[in-house]
Chains A and B, each alone.
Chain A
């Protein structure tokens, strides 16, 4: 068993153990902690000097077929599909994200006596979501890449439907199921088409990429365009690309805290990861063909959903919408189609994942204390009453609105420079001019103002101003040390990467340069 297989297996084994009677919280905490250590070990074992794409590989072929390409050795066989794992810099960064958010999510999960319903299901669901995400990020086989993500969706639906808050939880769970189910179907169709178009010989990423890199890999340009569009919509629905985003805010607002943290923070990044891992490098012409469409949609994410976010009167819905909005930045990094932009996109996936998980954790603390998240009903003034919560909340809001020093800012700046790299590449002089990517980037920069507006408004309405009479008589307890620790874990991660983004970028550089067809 390789290290990566162990990383996938730990949460699954722990989940099974919990199902069969192992103590829930200690088991889940131990599994999450062990996994974080194992993930840090993969960073240690990853060799930055090695050429080639995947490292720490392991493979269990399931179906093998005769290798037609290998003329020299007619009897040779090649893997059609199997459980193959491996990581490059991109997957490493996402593994770290998953490890951190999983630990924090399990940590902030309520004590067992506060869960109404099956405590075992509650805890094992978080572990299964984590396992699915880890599996998807480690898989180098198209089938397992897809299947692991589906595996993670099941517990997500169950958690929202069973443990969600509010009277509409079942309807919300269904809505999300339908959206993501349809998204997955479209995605599956696109992946099958891609597999067939690229020779139908293998589901292994490396083989598919090799086929794609061959001259005129896909005979018809329009076929390539259509496959890309299918993948874009399929992945796009999963990442809440405008206008397929309306499932997300409600689902996150309804979901129990650890589920919201894991889905918004980690699992949602699967779609972006798929675009970077599969759609962009394997269908470069399709990507170029639909670039303008993607730019229009992502501006929809940033500006349109940005304004929707501003109109929210409940903190949880605001968070859910803001998470949709910030996906626009990641899409912008991808749509820039150069190494700076894609690096920025991956860094943003990490930064946003951590910060949104942090915010949903804080959201949970507020909900626990007030039973409501409506700004008007909470009424403000909490800064004096709950100083620790106010302080950590301030950190989280500042991170989310892209204050320098937090990872989010580093990522956004990279994406903006990625957006203008096209201008940089032009010869200065008479012909130099702005293109659609630069226009979209300018719109995205206005989004930075929008996020500041709703972020500061939320902080103002919750923590500043005089204490309303409705709160005065209440016994409110500030965060305890045990409640603070998981939040601090996430804040420290954001600050470390904000001050020294190079710690992660050095893993991304060579991997993203390896993605073919990207401008420098």
Chain B
């Protein structure tokens, strides 16, 4: 096999799988599942093989849209550290999710549709990772939004799932509105849509010198809008928790490693653009930090196991976005990398719990699962430790320290927020473990729970390994990835480690003693915690805003259209042209047929002239 064809195969194999299921095997769920899972395992192998391809390897591009003779939008591939590393993560998590789904979705009616959706999702995500230009990235960006619509809305006969799917698509579209304008601005200002060409024009040729900062800021922030939507940053974060309506493996795929990570990945791709505008980085960093803080606070008071993880994801993404904003895009990518493994582990672990408890998702109706599901418990604890950043023995520690270290240098306020989130994270994850896994069982479903089958626990075990080791240097050397990923290994200072470890212990301790043996949440009922539990009422506020403005505007426009525009334009007797229309009507005065007859007579006359002249 030609090495140059490798990226094409990785891109097209999932598409082929999705198309095969759609066209041929959609009546057989089992065959479809095997096709899709097979494709995902092969792409994982190819994703590993891809690591050997050199930087800048030339891959034949496909000219997709030729706008003019010298401006062609290609489906082209950028092979470098970033894309190879990301592709490994995407294919690895993808394969784990596929295998897990074989068991989880065993008896689902829409199994074929589900696996076709998974394959199509992998195709879309692969396109984002490989994209060598903005338009191609946008194409697959939208396709990711579409596949998430299909997957989140898998159980579309449920109102909640149908609404969640729609909400995810629309919220992403709002982000894409900004993204598209951003792309057009980049094109107009730098004269290219290709990342390498833009980098040359901006960094080497200084093409943006003298352009007003307002325009540059608009350019950077509009592009950032795309990431706000995909990575669910404030104020477009509302779709992500609702997206938990999808099957749990989908949550693992979308909310751990792929879709939401795409925003951060894109920012890392274009990180060189951010410093071009004074102040844009600052805005990005603060949006990330505030998202991170708000989401962590919301996570404190959720009772649905998946929602806790969803808000945790929001919080961690905020961390990454903050890192991009303070010019530490490689720290962000490092954290994206490690987070992908342990968050996928946690989501699949929660899927195993939900499966074992007969689709019970409320942690207060679980309890005592540690003894009944030892493998799930142990792997879940490993994932939790990594998410909290347990010093030296988890991958999350190194990547989190990298971000904290970057924030410590000159961004004191951001650092304080970031450090506080360490405490919050330790607290809400300990709460989850204590309530769901320890103590006594608190429901029939929890009592009857037992360990999940091999196809489900195997992915958990396999994901637990990188959750531990993905922070160490040897892991990246083994994957032939450059220092960009592990340069931050080794914390900034001993003081930092001690401080963050102290916060960690404090968080764990408070939650452990606070929730040990409790049957309901002791924090319940306070005004503050009610705000956390109700997600700061953002969804309610949006619903109200949409009703007032969006639907209100639509209603007013509709009224105006019926009464004013239609009335005025159709009936304004003063308009001479329209009087002509009336005259014409009176002239014909009869019915439609006679009008038609006159027209036809004219037509016959014309034909007569043509033929007999």
Q: Does A232 contact B (CB under 8 A)?
A: no
Contact partner of A308 (CB less than 8 A), chosen from B165, B551, B557, B613, is B557
Give per-residue flags for B146-189: 1 if the beta carbon is below 8 A from chain A beta carbons, else 0. 10010001001111001101100110011011001100110111
Contact partner of A449 (CB less than 8 A), chosen from B153, B170, B211, is B170
Minimum CB distance partner of B565 in chain A:
A243
Known: A157-B596, A311-B554, A403-B143. A445 touches B565 (CB 8 A): no
Stretch of A109-117, A261-269, A409-417 at the chain-chain interface:
A409-417
Give per-residue flags for A147-183: 1 if the beta carbon is below 8 A from chain B beta carbons, else 0. 1001101110110011000000010011101110110
Taking CB atoms and an 8 Å cut-off, the chain B residues in 112-139 that contact chain A are 135, 138-139
Q: Does B499 contact A (CB under 8 A)?
A: no
Minimum CB distance partner of A398 in chain B:
B146
Q: Does B566 contact A (CB under 8 A)?
A: yes
Is there contact, CB below 8 Å, between A465 and B558? no
Q: Does A471 contact B (CB under 8 A)?
A: no
Is there contact, CB below 8 Å, between A441 and B184? yes
Q: Does B555 contact A (CB under 8 A)?
A: yes
C-alpha spacing A309/B162, complex, angstroms = 21
Minimum CB distance partner of B555 in chain A:
A311
C-alpha spacing A330/B516, complex, angstroms = 65
Known: A186-B577, A429-B210. A243 touches B188 (CB 8 A): no
C-alpha spacing A244/B568, complex, angstroms = 10
Q: Does B493 contact A (CB under 8 A)?
A: no
C-alpha spacing A235/B146, complex, angstroms = 36
Is there contact, CB below 8 Å, between A174 and B177? no
Q: Is the interface of A mostly helix, strand, loop or mixed?
A: helix
Residues of A within 8 A of B570 (CB): 175, 178-179, 246
B214 to chain A, nearest CB (A): 10
A309 to chain B, nearest CB (A): 8
Residues of B within 8 A of A452 (CB): 169-170, 173
Taking CB atoms and an 8 Å cut-off, the chain A residues in 224-265 that contact chain B are 243-246
Is there contact, CB below 8 Å, between B595 and A465? no
Known: A182-B581, A413-B135. A60 touches B610 (CB 8 A): yes
Q: Does A310 contact B (CB under 8 A)?
A: yes
Interface size range on A against B: 35 or more
Is there contact, CB below 8 Å, between B613 and A62? yes
Residues of A within 8 A of B162 (CB): 460, 464-465
Residues of A within 8 A of B487 (CB): none
Is there contact, CB below 8 Å, between B592 and A158? yes
Q: Does A76 contact B (CB under 8 A)?
A: no
C-alpha spacing A430/B210, complex, angstroms = 5
C-alpha spacing A62/B566, complex, angstroms = 42
C-alpha spacing A456/B164, complex, angstroms = 12
C-alpha spacing A463/B184, complex, angstroms = 36
Residues of B within 8 A of A445 (CB): 177, 180-181
Q: Does B49 contact A (CB under 8 A)?
A: no
C-alpha spacing A415/B587, complex, angstroms = 43
Taking CB atoms and an 8 Å cut-off, the chain A residues in 441-474 that contact chain B are 441-442, 445-446, 448-449, 452-453, 456-457, 460, 463-467
Q: Does B208 contact A (CB under 8 A)?
A: yes
B525 to chain A, nearest CB (A): 34
Contact partner of A464 (CB less than 8 A), chosen from B67, B153, B554, is B153
Contact partner of B174 (CB less than 8 A), chosen from A423, A449, A501, A502, is A449
Known: A246-B569, A460-B166. A174 touches B585 (CB 8 A): yes
Is there contact, CB below 8 Å, between B166 and A414? no
Is there contact, CB below 8 Å, between A466 and B554? no
Stretch of B321-329, B462-470, B535-543, B599-607 at the chain-chain interface:
B599-607
Taking CB atoms and an 8 Å cut-off, the chain B residues in 527-574 that contact chain A are 550-551, 553-558, 561, 565-566, 568-570
Contact partner of A428 (CB less than 8 A), chosen from B170, B207, B592, B602, is B207
Minimum CB distance partner of B561 in chain A:
A308
Minimum CB distance partner of A309 in chain B:
B554
Is there contact, CB below 8 Å, between A343 and B67? yes
Q: Does A286 contact B (CB under 8 A)?
A: no
Contact partner of A429 (CB less than 8 A), chosen from B66, B185, B209, is B209
C-alpha spacing A424/B208, complex, angstroms = 13
Is there contact, CB below 8 Å, between A449 and B177? yes
A267 to chain B, nearest CB (A): 14
Residues of A within 8 A of B165 (CB): 464
Minimum CB distance partner of B588 in chain A:
A177
Residues of B within 8 A of A304 (CB): 557, 561
C-alpha spacing A442/B142, complex, angstroms = 18
Q: Does B65 contact A (CB under 8 A)?
A: yes
C-alpha spacing A73/B169, complex, angstroms = 69
Is there contact, CB below 8 Å, between A246 and B215? no
Is there contact, CB below 8 Å, between B554 and A308? yes
Contact partner of A381 (CB less than 8 A), chosen from B68, B157, B211, is B157
Q: Does A339 contact B (CB under 8 A)?
A: yes
B133 to chain A, nearest CB (A): 12
Is there contact, CB below 8 Å, between B558 and A311? yes
B11 to chain A, nearest CB (A): 13
Q: Does A199 contact B (CB under 8 A)?
A: no
Residues of A within 8 A of B185 (CB): 420, 423
Known: A162-B592, A339-B68, A405-B143. A433 touches B215 (CB 8 A): yes
Taking CB atoms and an 8 Å cut-off, the chain A residues in 188-214 that contact chain B are none
Q: Does A31 contact B (CB under 8 A)?
A: no
Is there contact, CB below 8 Å, between A244 and B569? yes
Q: Does B191 contact A (CB under 8 A)?
A: yes
C-alpha spacing A503/B163, complex, angstroms = 38
Taking CB atoms and an 8 Å cut-off, the chain A residues in 462-520 that contact chain B are 463-467, 499-502, 505-506, 509, 520
Minimum CB distance partner of A313 in chain B:
B558
Q: Does A27 contact B (CB under 8 A)?
A: no
Residues of A within 8 A of B135 (CB): 413
Known: A83-B610, A243-B569, A464-B162. A423 touches B595 (CB 8 A): no
Residues of B within 8 A of A154 (CB): 595-596, 599-600, 603
Minimum CB distance partner of B558 in chain A:
A311
Is there contact, CB below 8 Å, between A416 and B211? no
Residues of A within 8 A of B551 (CB): 310-311
Q: Does A221 contact B (CB under 8 A)?
A: no
Residues of B within 8 A of A150 (CB): 599, 602-603
Is there contact, CB below 8 Å, between A456 and B169? yes
Residues of A within 8 A of B581 (CB): 178-179, 181-182, 185
Q: Does A377 contact B (CB under 8 A)?
A: no
Contact partner of A416 (CB less than 8 A), chosen from B184, B557, B569, B610, is B184
Contact partner of B208 (CB less than 8 A), chosen from A62, A414, A428, is A428
Is there contact, CB below 8 Å, between B188 and A404? no
Is there contact, CB below 8 Å, between B208 and A509? no
Mind listing 29 A-B residue pairs with CB under 8 Å? A144-B606, A147-B603, A150-B599, A151-B603, A177-B592, A177-B595, A178-B585, A179-B570, A182-B581, A185-B581, A244-B569, A308-B557, A310-B554, A398-B146, A414-B67, A417-B184, A420-B184, A424-B188, A428-B191, A428-B208, A428-B210, A432-B188, A432-B212, A433-B215, A434-B215, A441-B184, A463-B156, A464-B165, A501-B65
Residues of B within 8 A of A (CB): 63-69, 71, 73, 135, 138-140, 142-143, 146, 149, 153, 156-159, 162-163, 165-166, 169-170, 173-174, 176-177, 180-181, 184-185, 187-191, 207-212, 215, 550-551, 553-558, 561, 565-566, 568-570, 577-578, 580-582, 584-585, 591-593, 595-596, 599-600, 602-603, 606, 609-610, 613
Besides A307-B556, A429-B209, 13 new A-B residue pairs in contact (Cβ under 8 A), listed by A number = A60-B610, A150-B603, A158-B592, A243-B565, A246-B570, A404-B143, A416-B180, A420-B187, A448-B180, A456-B166, A464-B157, A465-B156, A501-B65
Shortest 6 CB-CB contacts between residues of A and residues of B: A423-B188, A311-B558, A464-B162, A311-B554, A246-B566, A310-B554
Residues of A within 8 A of B (CB): 60, 62, 82-83, 144, 147, 150-151, 153-155, 157-158, 161-162, 170, 173-175, 177-179, 181-182, 185-186, 243-246, 304-305, 307-312, 339-340, 343, 381, 383-384, 398, 403-405, 409-410, 413-414, 416-417, 419-420, 423-424, 426, 428-430, 432-434, 438, 441-442, 445-446, 448-449, 452-453, 456-457, 460, 463-467, 499-502, 505-506, 509, 520
